[in-house]
Structure 1
Amino acid sequence: MKFTDGLWRRPTGVDYVGGVEVVEVLQESKDGVEFIVAPKHVASRGDTLNTPLLTVSISSPMDDVIKVRLEHHRGGKNKGPHFELFPDGMPAVPATSVSRPAEGHMEFKSGSLAVDINTGPRSYALQFNTGDEFLCGTEPKGEGYADVPYHLTFGQQSQSGCLSTLADSMPRNDDFALDTTRATGLVRFMVTDLSLSTGETIYGLGERFGPFVKNGQVVGIWNQDGGTSSEQTYKNVPFYLSSKGYGVFVNHPEEVEFEVGREKCSKVGLSVRGECLEYFVIGGGSVKAALQNYVRMTGRPALPPAWTYGLYLSTSFTTSYDQKTVSGFLQEMRDRKCPVRVLHLDAFWMKRYDWCSFEFDPETFPDPEKYLTDVKREFGVKVCAWINPYVSQRARIFTEGAENGYFLKRKNGDVWQWDEWQPGMAIVDFTNPAACKWYAGLVQRMLDMGIDTVKTDFGERIPHLDVVYHDGSDPRKAHNFYSLIYNKVVFEVVEKKFGKHEAALFARSATAGGQRFPVHWGGDCESTYEAMSETLRGGLSLSASGFAFWSHDIGGFEGHPDPVLFSRWLSFGLFSSHSRLHGSASFRVPWNYGEDAVHITRKMVRAKCRLMPYIYGESLKAHETGVPVMRAMIIEFPDDPASTYLDKQYMFGDNLLVAPVFHDTRADFYIPAGRWTCFWTGEVIEGPRYVRKTDYPIDQIPVFVRPNSALLLGPEDVEMPDYDYAKAGLEVRTYELESEVEVKVPTGKGAKWAGSVKVTADGKVSANGVALKK
């Protein structure tokens, strides 16, 4: 949100108070510092009267991370929910220190990250540094609060929607936003402006389908169900990465707005309603290290089971299907040697109007348990089923949920209902432990029938007006956070049923910490090259926000793709961490798009299965470190200026560069420094250089292997992703070796390594615990 009119003026009615001078240090130790900041120079006792103060607390939860908490009035209730920090366990006590390096300066240091606090007259500022390198900072008046007339908050937050779009279509009685301690109709915002250096670029902020580089954008952290062709997104994360090798995490689950070089060209503005603002500056020495430290704070991703990397075949959404249709698709995929590993039953496995009832439609699945047993035995597939957290009043479970208080309520005590999506739809209240247990039981019953994994759809259209949560949560804070607790409840049921490292979801909504419950997919995209590219931008932004595993609807969700587009998207989809054929009104079976599509499906599925020792090894590393499997080039090559704006290609693990083709015949991509080898043909291209290839083969996608790499490939006839990699007889391929390379091989069963293969610079191979191809 903008709090200025140009550089110097304020919009009419906006009152801004910014910190100017440190007037008292309250605490100063290695555990942290706390001080009071006045909005003016205090030269005499009279200057202390009739003036607000800001309290600033600085501390560190772990090495290379510094927390800043800015507070105005402390007397308000700090309702939840709150992000869970360090869910995997607290890190070691950070190496911190506090010093006064010069008059008027105090320095707090954590690991290699330090913040200089300017305590001189009229000079309050923060400056974050790693060694001699300046990262970011604030200036005098750069931190404070603003009181904004209520009517100005409408229409000004063009990206977010909490007040402006009113996605819930509720009356404008937004009384939670009124600051009743001041003049009626003012909304209080806490504000910080962090510097944006010349040439510095910003990434992340969750899934974003617009420009990959966030400079020049205003980004509101507010989950919405708006498809992939707009500013709205399903997965909003209040964390950004800087090309300078640091990140900023704003520790607020409610709406946070980021003005990235937009309101002020040399600033990233952070704002949140209320009386406090808490953020973390996260260092580590590189873009990748800062991302890893953020993931340590908010939670490492679970490791999906190996079978989830195979091809998902969906029944699609509004298509008509029954047992015979589904089995027919699986048989035809088998006949065409296009192996399916997961069968996905989308919404209409349940009866129309009854979602989400958790009951099979008896007209199309008269004996669901027998059918699930038969289809899994006959075709060797796992089965995924679609659910959401909304319950139609036509569903048999509605009465039970309403009578027991399992749904969100209005302020008058009624169940919160509307007719969007489903008639008389209610929303499960996951802040109620009894409701969580009830919903978990519904999922458990479904798993006991034979379902193996769950697509957790929706979770974005959560009301924030005229709504009451069981635990008294602030509806603004609960709006985004809802996606986290919803997916957590379901994931834990699946994990309990099948065991650790055997649980996976296919989730759409998320916020900070949601990476702990993979896999996530990109939502509803159109069937165009433009939608294909915006889908990739969304995935790259999401991976820059800590999400390690990601998928999308091959061919697009809406519409019917032409055969060439579908074929290009097939290759992109099968060189993503997870791969799903899914559409809305038409089936995404490859023979609907011609024999080329069938051939490409067969070829790419087999290539992915052969690459599984590499892909699963990279996934295991992602689970251990937080570095995503699919990652933007800027994360891997931060010192290459060309990587700054590359948003049509990505690194697939440490050693593979993938560049989807966004034209019928032309491929464009960038090769970094070194001699990179085409995975398909063995062609070597020496970078750095941009490459354009015309008449690019329809059955290929640019995949280049990094120099000084060794890939271990499974058998040529392998058709499934989950096999014993160490015993399969792996083929060793080397690429432009310069020194000895050691490749670790996972077992394929959980987070364990089976052994390793070493290749010397002159090509000699030795294996430890791994069988190689003879």
Structure 2
Amino acid sequence: MEPAKEKESSVQDEAVGRSNFKNCNHIAFYRRQKRLHPGKSLYRALLDSATLSNDGVKLQIINEKNKVPLQVEIYAIEGNIFRIKINELSPLKSRYEVQDVLIKEPATQRLSIAQKEAGILVLTCDAEDRKLHITANPFLIELESQGETVLSVNTNGLLNFEHLQPPPQNSKRTAQIKEDISADSFQENQEDLGLWEEKFGSFLDIKANGPSSIGLDFSLHGFEHVYGIPEHAETFLLKNTSDNDAYRLFNLDVYGHKIHDKMGIYGSVPFLLAHKPNRTSGIFWLNSSETLVEINTKAVMEHVPSKAPPDITKQRVIPQTDVRWMSESGIIDVFLLLGPTPFDIFKQYSQLTGTQALPPLFSLGYHQCRWNYEDEQDVKAVDAGFDENNIPYDVIWLDIEHTEGKKYFTWDKKKFQSPKRMQELLKRKKRKLVVIIDPHIKVDPTYTLYSQAKKRGYFVKDRKGQDFEGICWPGSSSYLDFTNPEVRQWYAEQFAFKSYEGSTEILFVWNDMNEPSVFKGAELTMQRDAVHHGNWEHREVHNLYGFYQQMATAEGLIKRSEGQTRPFVLTRSFFAGSQKYGAVWTGDNVAEWSYLKISIPMLLTISIAGISFCGADVGGFIGDPEPELLVRWYQAGAYQPFFRGHSNIESKRREPWLFGDENTRIIREAIRERYTLLPYLYSLFYQAHTTAEPVMRPLWVEFPKEQETFGVEDEYMLGNALLVHPVTEQEATTVNILLPGSDEVWYDFRSFRRLDCPGTLKMPVTIENIPVFQRGGSVVSLKTAVGRSTEWMADTSYELHVALDSKGSAVGEFYLDDGHSFQYLHKKQFLHRKFTFHKNVFSSSCADEIGQYHTKCVVEQVLILGVEKKPTSVTARLHDGRDKEVIFTYDTKTSMLMLEQLLLNIGADWEIHIK
């Protein structure tokens, strides 16, 4: 092993240890928040202070113990959302409020005061049937929608707001601060409380502003199923937490992260969803500092409204889920999303944070990555290997070894002597290159990027005002301050061809290590007392760091093309709103069956939190997968949004053809199946981009009333048409599959066999493929043939799979544009078609008249599943009114009707009549 790699390996081995990372007991602000127990709130609302404006309502609340007032702002947001902000009325200095995550300041609706008496203020929203009840003492807010109390705030009295104070000058002042924090007697000393400084191991965090944490609890009435708050290597359905066992949202580089652990890993989205058969609700906690979330589902007694006398009022037991949010700093800024449907929630959340960026088509193909492809010859050989083995792929990736001494935007002059020529060879094959560009910059005055950033003051500072330095891959490194708009603009300019020598238009970017990772830092990340633009401490913006790097990178790639070409940027660290800038993946997983299994709930959680473009490293990044595991992972990855094989530098080579002819054949088939599915996938991404519908979604999203789906995490829907059940057990010969919906019809996606008995079925499986089913009532668009990459398939004809429901009907949509530019947006150059099967007529019509896009592509075949009898004739009526006879075959065993040699333009109106 080379010395550099030896060093890298030792750093990784150190990172694996759980002792490098905090648990809840280590977190001082959590310990302080937890001293406040459920009970009567310390806060009382001053209802006489309430003022009403066109935007919302403002009122004061006061802590009955320390007499510090807070200001509460309440807004009704268009689209069935409430926003509550709580801040100090007169802070010593401004408290941090998250920037750039919201796509705009949300439009408000007018609130009216419906009642103000007897310690209660009732607000109504003019536009919708929504009420907000504010109780003065103790301070409590209840949200009512359509006569139902959906959610309440401060139900358990856990509002806890540490106001900013001047540093203590003496022990008496310190005692006063302790007294303010809790009424309990204190056994701890100041160091244990972590008021002004906090130790973890050998690291000392100096808190210039002292204790500034916030906390608030919410009760979700009637709910016992809650989801979201990625990223954790945990179950999809969130679990009840116990003391010192909260879900942690704090972005960290956890190499080979432990599964079934609530510790924070690479990304944080503080968005929680609750679901019950008649409603879905959401809580979006807009705070970028370290956040801990506790969950407690319990049974409570509820009064049932009745006309009977009060003494015989009925009661019933209903579930209730209490959620407690605690953050190290900032303000309380929370959005309460009232749905009521899952798709309403997705739309409401995207209205705040944006929708998934429409990716370039090539990025939906297969990606081949390794740490590291050694040199140009290695890249050329791997590229040729795909062609020799007849396996399609779109992108080859280069990790940190491609650079000169881990200096990003450079090339190793020995290994990559002619990077442009290498890219030209890939371009001729209609393929792309992705290179890694991390946020740490090697401290080296001869390195132009470093010297320029140093001169301009673009690095994050330490608390003494010097450039923060930490150890990462290059050794001593400084970290660009991406929270500064000027730094982001400068960074974006580095992607220009004249600045990034050796880059071409087929080069795209991978942002890694951007939690940010600091090898010899506390928890392997940046000191919390480091200082960013605007004099904000790192603790305030930690979870936003990777979000900002991905934003700057995406803007750089767009700028490079003069606004013409869509970027592709993969990031490891993410936050709410990261969907606007590209893709994410689940980080450094392990080549074990348990990691394949946990990848499904992890991806479902990320997907419902707004980030549709997500995936897990196929095969596991760390270690060497056995052939069966690798095959099963390829089969799973082929039906997930982001599809990349990746492996560690110490792993054995694992290109798809290295595991014997039989395994190569099966992997080839899985990858080729992905490529035939691209028209359907691309259409799903268009829906994610325009309507915020997740590409990969849990069963309950499509079947919201079917309670048996609420806890399912081993299968999922890909769009609304395909149900996918990856095989995640070694040597499995059967799997238990839930086909939901009592009146649903399902079809095997490959054999076209109809299954009329929905429910949990025990089905045999072989190593050949994983179970996939098409839902009755849907239309799935496919390509009839596979090329060497997506670009090779641009003119390939289409095949439509029409699966009839129990009423003999089906609908589906199809989207097409040039696959790479913004012309779909600026010039409305796109096709959006609607397919309908009704009363034995299958038709194609325009779903969006605004879009226009010329294509020569045709629908060559249509397969109609569930046709009860063989027709006597089939006729196609073309857009010009002409009729033509259609060649067809009918399979009596599967009741499948195949229409062939249609040659119907995909962009034209036409009808097919079946008699």
Same fold judged by TM-score > 0.5?
yes
1:224 aligns to 2:252 (yes or no) = yes
Q: Report the equivalent of 2:227.
A: 203
Cα–Cα, structure 1 residues 153 and 442, in superposed 2: closer, same or farther, change >3 Å? farther
C-alpha deviation, 1:766, in angstroms: 2.9
Report if aligned partners of 1:306, 1:748 keep a CA contact under 8 Å in 2: no
Moved more, 302-311 or 280-289: 280-289
Worse-matched range after superposition: 96-105 or 505-514: 96-105
In the alignment, structure 1 residue 240 sits paired with structure 2 residue 272:
yes
Matched, 1:771 2:858: yes
Alignment of 1:383-462 (within 5 A): 383-394=433-444, 396-397=447-448, 398-444=450-496, 445-446=499-500, 449-450=503-504, 451-461=506-516, 462=525
CA distance in 1, matches of 2:197, 2:598: 26
1:260 aligns with 2:261: no
Which of the numbers 363, 368, 387 marks the counterpart of 2:419?
A: 368
* Partner secondary structure for residue 565 of structure 1: helix
Worse-matched range after superposition: 575-584 or 682-691? 682-691
Aligned counterparts, 1:490-639, within 5 A: 490-498=553-561, 499=563, 502-584=566-648, 585=650, 586-639=652-705
Residues 709 and 401 of structure 1: CA distance in aligned 2, closer, same or farther (over 3 Å): same
Percent of aligned pairs sharing the same letter: 21
- The Cα shift of 1:771 comes to 2.6
Asked if 1:355 corresponds to 2:406, the answer is yes
Q: Could you tell which deviates more after superposition, 143-152 or 72-81? A: 143-152
Does 2:801 match 1:733? yes
Q: 2:388 aligns with which of 308, 312, 335?
A: 335
Name the counterpart of 1:754: 831
CA distance in 2, matches of 1:691, 1:294: 35
Match for residue 784 of structure 2 among 715, 736, 749:
715
Q: Which runs of 5+ in 2 are unaligned?
A: 1-23, 163-180, 300-319, 517-524, 847-856, 861-900, 902-915
Matching of residue 130 in structure 1 with residue 145 in structure 2: yes
Counterparts of 1:247-286 in structure 2 under 5 Å? Answer: 247-261=282-296, 266-274=321-329, 276-286=331-341
1:467 corresponds, among 530, 535, 547, to 530
1:58 to 74, 77, 88: 74
Could you tell me whether the CA contact under 8 Å between 1:391 and 1:426 is conserved in 2?
yes
Is the 1:356–1:390 contact (alpha carbons within 8 Å) kept by the matching residues of 2? no
Amino acid at match of 2:634: L
Deviation at 1:73, TM superposition (A): 4.4
Show the counterpart of 1:667.
735
Partner of 2:349: 294
Opposite residue 293 of structure 1, the aligned amino acid is: Q
* Secondary structure at the counterpart of residue 760 of structure 1: strand
Q: Which has the larger radius of gyration?
A: 2
Could you tell me how far 1:97 is from its partner in structure 2?
A: 4.0
Gaps in structure 1 of 5+ consecutive residues: 41-48, 179-186
Alpha-carbon deviation of 1:257?
Answer: 2.0
Contact (CA 8 Å) 1:208, 1:537: kept in 2 or not?
no
Structure-2 change in CA distance of 1:639 and 1:262 (3 Å)? closer
**Using a 3 Å threshold, how does the CA distance of structure 1 residues 190 and 90 change in structure 2: closer, same or farther?**
closer
Asked if the contact 1:307/1:721 (under 8 Å) is kept, the reply is: yes
Q: Taking CA–CA contacts closer than 8 Å with sequence separation of 6 or more, which of the two structures ends up with the larger relative contact order?
A: 1
Distance 2:130 2:387 in 1: 59
Counterpart of 1:345 (choices 378, 387, 398) is 398
Choose 513-522 or 230-239, whichever is displaced more: 230-239
Question: How many angstroms does 1:240 deviate by?
Answer: 0.7
Deviation by residue 1:234-273 (Cα, 9 ceiling, x = unmatched) = 1101111111411111122222221111899852112234
Match of 1:312 among 367, 384, 389: 367
1:65–1:110 contact (8 Å) kept in structure 2: no
| Residue identity opposite 1:35 in structure 2 | L
Match of 1:693 in 2: 763
Contact residue 115 and residue 126 of structure 1 kept, 8 A: no
Residue identity matched to 2:647: G
Aligned to 1:82: 98
Q: CA RMSD in A?
A: 3.3
Question: Partner amino acid for 1:627?
Answer: E
Query: Deviation string for 1:327-358 (max 9, x for gaps)?
Result: 1111111111101211111221113xx22332
Q: Which moved more, 1:93-102 or 1:534-543?
A: 93-102
Q: CA deviation at 1:368?
A: 1.5
Indicate how the Cα distance of structure 1 residues 423 and 90 shifts in structure 2: closer, same or farther if over 3 A, else same.
Answer: closer
8 Å CA contact 1:723, 1:748 repeated in 2:
no
Aligned to 1:543, what secondary structure does the other structure show?
helix
Q: CA deviation at 1:452?
A: 2.4
Counterpart amino acid of residue 513 in structure 2: F
Q: Tell me which moved more, 220-229 or 430-439.
A: 430-439
Q: For 2:420 and 2:199, how far apart are their aligned partners in 1?
A: 44
Deviation at 1:164, TM superposition (A): 8.4
Q: Which amino acid aligns with 1:527?
A: A
Q: Which residue of 2 aligns with 1:677?
A: 747
2:358 aligned residue: 303
Q: Distance in 2 between matches of 1:540 and 1:153?
A: 42
Matched letter for residue 350 of structure 1: T
Report Cα offsets for 1:562-584 as digits up to 9, x if no partner: 00000000011111112111100
Alpha-carbon contact 2:37-2:158 (below 8 Å) kept: no
SS in 2 for 1:660: coil
| Local SS of the residue matching 1:503 | coil
TM-score (norm 1): 0.88
Matches of 1:277 and 1:290 in 2, distance apart? 21
Q: 1:184 maps to which residue?
A: none
Match of 2:432 among 358, 375, 382: 382
The answer to whether the 8 Å contact 2:407/2:442 transfers is yes
CA displacement at 1:654 relative to structure 2:
1.6
TM-score by length of 2: 0.75
Aligned partner of 2:435: which letter? A
**1:90 Cα deviation from its structure 2 partner:** 5.9
C-alpha contact 1:83 1:252 (8 A) present in aligned 2: no
